[in-house]
């Protein structure tokens, strides 16, 4: 399959209106007017967005979708893992089994794929490790506590350009700090199970089966992202905050008091685990021109995601216990947009330009007063906590099983 064709197939299956039974094609087309195809951002015309929020039929449509998704997630939603990063402390001999040159071309051992079926499935290319060491270079104190990754290898699925895995190696040579380590970074949801099994089977073959089983169960989790998408929901209708007593930092993007917000962070995304809510279709339009080529056939889509950053948390996990990763998505409290059309232009403009936790909570009193004039009440949606717990456990255990048990030597 051609690379662009794999992207097109993914776009159609993920965002195609015809694949979403709850999405109304005609109302969705009205919501698509919020996206500027030239700039690949939201339209800058604030009046356009206010007019969309003042449409009674659109507000009721968005409310209907959110009610269905949050009331019955087992039927309508799928929890996915959008990032998994872990590190493995290992010996110098283990590192040699990964990077030591082999064969006439003297390529690193990990790049040597002896099984023809695997070479047809994925490629391995040596990359220049750079961005991974930004923090190491910026903070001298890190030199004694964190490995310097001098080698990077990119595994890429040949039939799907979006599917990849990066393996970093620290050989301990930098500044003689002696830290030898492997770091693995990938997006599980983009890889098929058989591809994950094949890639980790290849890594296992290079390390040796016995050594692999010694090392990988103890792998230290660094980051796990999991969340769900809401097909048909335009993010300018979704106003959420974390339902906790503790004050938290929150921010929005793009920066600027006059800009319509596309992304909201609940929690400090630079220093702690956090929730992020963003317009998924818009984000993919920025990455793939194929989205804009078929925009009229696609559904606007909002994504809600929790990013667990282990180094910013007191929770220490490995590949066998990663199902215990916290999940803050159950703290999300989402305004029911059914009666947004009753709010004043001033209130709607404030909500569009500032979706931080602080602003939304400060507006609640004003919103209630405005709705009361129309004999309406402000209501909320919350996701089913048990569904989140069960789905996360099943998802994490599934990937743990693929990596630790199903990956076999090739």
Query: Residues 97-107: pLDDT tens digits?
Result: 999 988 777 78
The predicted pLDDT at position 1 comes to: 43
Phi, psi values for residue 383, rounded to 5°: -75, 150
Q: Furthest-apart CA pair in the chain: how many Å?
A: 81
Q: Would you say the pTM of this structure is higher than 0.75?
A: yes
Q: Which residue from 345, 362, 289 is spatially nearest to 40, judged by alpha carbons?
A: 289
Question: Residues with Cβ < 8 Å from 125, sequence gap 6 or more?
Answer: 111, 153, 154, 156
Beta strand extents in 247-329 (DSSP E only): 250-253, 263-266, 274-279, 301-309
**pLDDT in the model for residue 410:** 52
Determine the Cα–Cα distance for residues 313 and 309; give it in Å rounded to an integer: 7
3-state DSSP helix/strand/coil percent for the chain, to nearest 5?
Answer: 50, 25, 30
Count CA atoms closer than 13 A to 378's CA, side-chain side: 19
SS3 182: strand
State the alpha helices, DSSP H only, in 24-91. 25-31, 46-53, 56-71, 73-76
Residue ranges in the chain modelled with pLDDT below 50: 1-2
Q: Compute φ and ψ for 289, nearest 5 degrees.
A: -65, -20
What's the token pair of residue 314? 């007191």
Using CA atoms, how far residue 115 sits from 105, 155, 405, in Å, is 18, 15, 20
Q: What is the pLDDT of residue 175?
A: 61
């Amino acid at each position: 399959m051609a690379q662009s064709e794999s992207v097109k197939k993914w776009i159609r299956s993920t965002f195609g209106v015809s694949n979403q039974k709850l999405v109304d094609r005609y109302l969705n087309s009205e919501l698509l007017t919020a996206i500027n195809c030239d700039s690949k951002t939201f339209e800058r015309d604030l009046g356009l967005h206010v007019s969309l929020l003042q449409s009674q039929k659109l507000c009721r449509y968005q409310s209907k979708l959110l009610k269905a998704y949050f009331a019955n997630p087992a039927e309508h939603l799928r929890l996915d893992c959008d990032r998994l990063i872990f590190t493995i402390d290992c010996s110098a001999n283990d590192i040699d089994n990964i990077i030591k040159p082999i064969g006439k071309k003297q390529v690193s051992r990990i790049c040597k794929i002896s099984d023809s079926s695997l070479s047809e499935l994925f490629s391995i290319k040596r990359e220049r490790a750079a961005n991974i060491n930004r923090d190491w270079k910026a903070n001298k104190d890190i030199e004694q506590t964190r490995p310097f990754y001098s080698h990077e290898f990119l595994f890429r699925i040949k039939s799907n350009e979006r599917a990849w895995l990066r393996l970093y190696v620290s050989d301990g040579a930098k500044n003689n700090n002696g830290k030898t380590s492997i770091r693995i970074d990938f997006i599980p949801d983009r890889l098929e199970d058989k591809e994950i099994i094949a890639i980790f089977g290849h890594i296992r073959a290079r390390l040796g089966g016995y050594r692999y089983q010694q090392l990988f169960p103890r792998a230290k989790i660094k980051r796990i992202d999991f969340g769900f998408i809401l097909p048909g929901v335009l993010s300018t209708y979704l106003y959420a905050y974390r339902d906790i007593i503790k004050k938290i930092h929150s921010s929005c993007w793009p920066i600027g008091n006059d800009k319509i917000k596309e992304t909201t962070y609940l929690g400090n995304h630079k220093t702690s685990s956090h929730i992020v809510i963003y317009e998924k279709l818009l984000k993919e339009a920025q990455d793939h021109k194929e989205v804009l080529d078929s925009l009229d056939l696609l559904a606007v889509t909002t994504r809600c995601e929790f990013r667990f950053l282990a180094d910013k948390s007191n929770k220490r996990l490995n590949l066998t216990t990663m199902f215990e990763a916290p999940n803050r998505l159950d703290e999300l409290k989402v305004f029911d947009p059914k009666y947004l059309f009753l709010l004043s232009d001033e209130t709607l403009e404030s909500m569009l330009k500032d979706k931080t936790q602080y602003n939304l909570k400060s507006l609640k009193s004003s919103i209630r007063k405005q709705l009361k004039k129309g004999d309406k009440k402000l209501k909320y949606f919350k996701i089913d906590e048990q569904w989140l717990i069960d789905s996360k456990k099943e998802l994490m255990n599934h990937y743990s099983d693929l990596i630790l048990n199903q990956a076999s030597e090739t």
